[in-house]
Amino acid sequence: MNTVAVKHWTWRDTFGVYLREAGFQFWGLVRMPGFALPTLLFPTMFYLFFGLIFAKGSGNSAAVYMLASYSTFGIMAPALFGFGMGVAMERDHGILAMKRVAPMPPMAYLAAKAAMAMLFALVIALLLFTLAGLFGGVTLPRAQWILLMLALIAGTAPFSALGLVIGLRAGGQASAAIINLIYLPMSFLSGLWVPLQFFPLWLQELARIFPAYHLSRIALGIVHQGGDGHYLAHVIYLLMFTVVCLWLARLGWRRIQDR
């Protein structure tokens, strides 16, 4: 051990770390039924009941409308819970500290979590698309299917960022409670379960503060179901929301590092 010839670290090694981290987190989530089942099943069941069975008489457009709103609802959970609870639990259990001591690039950890949120969004969207196509008689131009899918995958970003802020601030138990307190009311108040036009006007106005509202407007617009056409405004809102959350997360991370 007297001669220390430190092997040169290449971008390939870094890439390998990113891949292994993502693979490790993937298997961690898949093997955790408490995470994978509800995040995949809830939006699927909701859509099956409210979008397909109860809305049977109301024609094709209800099934399309709810496809957009319930898939928006669906992709929020893996982002919020995967990031928020994941980070909080790993912090509680000292796993984050182990990773900070190990020469792991912090971005590998975050990128893996972001990728998992996107992957679960993809699966949830595919499940709902399949239900819509098979049982709801939903037919959309191929471009709309693809655009909706892309919007849903990219749409995990603000929720992943929000989850990260919560996970870096709150402990494991608290973060579960906080995320549920945000996730469910926000979904409802953004019109993901019941269309907003059934709400009093002031609640319709209030919805504008929620990222879920803006993502759902984009999704609805893609499938021509009452989108307002202000795509740019919604995208800008979501980007700003994401940036603010990442900035807050950075503060939280600094606080942890300086502890």
Partner 1 sequence: MDSTSKTGAAVAVLTGVSKRYGKVLAVDGVNLEVRHGEVLALLGPNGAGKTTSVNMLLGLSRPSSGNALLFGRSPRDVGARRRIGAVLQGAQLGGHARVGEVIRLYSGYYPEPMPLAEILRSAGLEDLEKRPVLKLSGGQKQRLLFALAVCGNPELLFLDEPTAGLDVESRRGFWNRLREFKRAGRSIVLTTHYLEEADALADRIVVINRGRVVAEGTPAEIKRSVAQRHIRCVTALNETQIRRLPGVNSVRQDGKRLDIVAAHPEGMLLEMLKLDPALHDLEITGARLEEAFLALTENRPEEQAA
Binding site for partner 1 (CB under 8 A): 1-4, 6-9, 13, 16-17, 20-21, 24, 27-28, 31-32, 93-95, 97-98, 100-105, 257-259
- Closest contact distance (angstroms) between CB of 244 and partner 1 is 26
- 252: closest CA among 167, 160, 159? 167
- Closest contact distance (angstroms) between CB of 21 and partner 1 is 7
| Helix axes of 106-135 and 156-169: crossing angle, nearest 10 degrees | 130
- Closest contact distance (angstroms) between CB of 41 and partner 1 is 19
**Dihedral-angle region of residue 94 (phi above 0 means left; psi in -120 to 50 means alpha; beta otherwise):** left
- 110: closest CA among 78, 83, 77, 79? 83
- Closest contact distance (angstroms) between CB of 94 and partner 1 is 4
- Sequence-ordered list of residues with C-beta below 8 angstroms from that of 189, at least 6 positions apart, any chain: 203, 206, 207, 210, 213
- Closest contact distance (angstroms) between CB of 119 and partner 1 is 17
- Closest contact distance (angstroms) between CB of 186 and partner 1 is 29
Distance CA 240, CA 158 (A): 9
Distance CA 37, CA 61 (A): 28
Nearer to partner 1, 109 or 129 (CB): 109
Nearer to partner 1, 98 or 233 (CB): 98
Nearer to partner 1, 81 or 213 (CB): 81
Nearer to partner 1, 13 or 228 (CB): 13
Nearer to partner 1, 59 or 106 (CB): 106
Count how many residues are written for the chain: 259
Nearer to partner 1, 1 or 143 (CB): 1
What helix, strand, coil percent values describe the chain, rounded to 5? 80, 0, 20
Both structure tokens of 128: 């709902």
